[in-house]
Structure 1
Amino acid sequence: MGGMPPDATATKQRLLQAAVDEFARFGLAGARVDRIAEAAAANKRSIYVHFGTKEELFDRVVADGLLQLAEAVRFDATDLPRYAGELWELLEHRPHVRRLTLWSSLERPQPVDAEVEVYRTKVGAVEEAQAAGAVRADIPAPQLLAMVLALVISWDTASWSLKALHTGPGAAEQARAGIEAAVAGLVRVPPAAS
């Protein structure tokens, strides 16, 4: 009865990847733990051992995706148009993260600690930029950041009928440029009233 025990780290990684795929496709309610275990070549019990409930696994997958975005795209509150464009570009290559966050907002309407901390840092940076006069200050920082992020995903969440009117060569470049222009207009400090 010798031999090495199975590698728990490899199993956890396979389970996480299978969970990303399952939750991105079906959301929390539609996802099946059996399918996650089967896709990861693991048993269902291993999900509960490593991650707890299906809801806890979902929260972990969503938080991991958002933390990866936070690490991959440099946040500069004084250059929010560039941030929005780079974030949009990254989400084009990681559509599962966009889908997971949309599912999360629909099915888990509660704060997740890891996400709160990522946003707290960004909101603090926006408040500093507002205090320095680099970004409009008449909109509270959390709301302004929410608007920037909404513009980043605005084209993705638009009606398919509306999207059908804007296709063809250069559509992706135009989408990024449009988002950057919209964010620039949004965050611009309004002229002082006379």
Structure 2
Amino acid sequence: MTEDEAYRWLIAGAAPGADPFDAHVLASILALAIGEGGTAGRVCAHSGLDRGALDRLAEGMFPACREGLAAMADQDLPTAEIEQDSVRNLLEDHASGPSLLGRPLAAMVARRAMEPDHLWQDLGLRNRNELSALLDRHFAPLARQNTANMKWKRFFYRKICEEEGFVLCAAPSCSACGDFEMCFGEETGEARLARVRNGLTAAGPA
């Protein structure tokens, strides 16, 4: 199943009455996980959810896809990198959305943050605005601290370092930094699920 096919399958199997934006976000993340590891039964490794968490999420959000997702789930979740655990803990500590979604979303965002592209791309979202909307909805106390509009991955690492008592950057201020674009530059690029966006009217903010 391709990533685009997986997204369509999940959206079609969303629970009646499910929040359209949340369904879109979760389907986007899971679609990438399916595309990257579904045929090998590695959806958990690529989504950040263990079998139990994936099943609970499917039961609540994508009940028609529950059996299919279970068939693609790993037997065991790989040991997370230290950075991944740190990002997940940071998000969990600032969760503000529905209790059903706070923990699984924290795990999913943290796992996808280990990928090399912009975070919104590695979550399968259309643009940075969707990522900001996701974080503001489900992790508002953290999201609203990003007043300078720093890139989200860099912002997460800065907050983690601050909590641990470390200094992320040696520059006296962001304006004096020679690598300003690394933290604040424009986040352009093609969405990973761009093709399916042309064929569907996706729910949620553009």
Q: Using structure 1 for the length normalisation, give the TM-score.
A: 0.32
Specify which structure has the higher proportion of helix: 1
Bigger Rg, which one = 1
Q: Using structure 2 for the length normalisation, give the TM-score.
A: 0.30
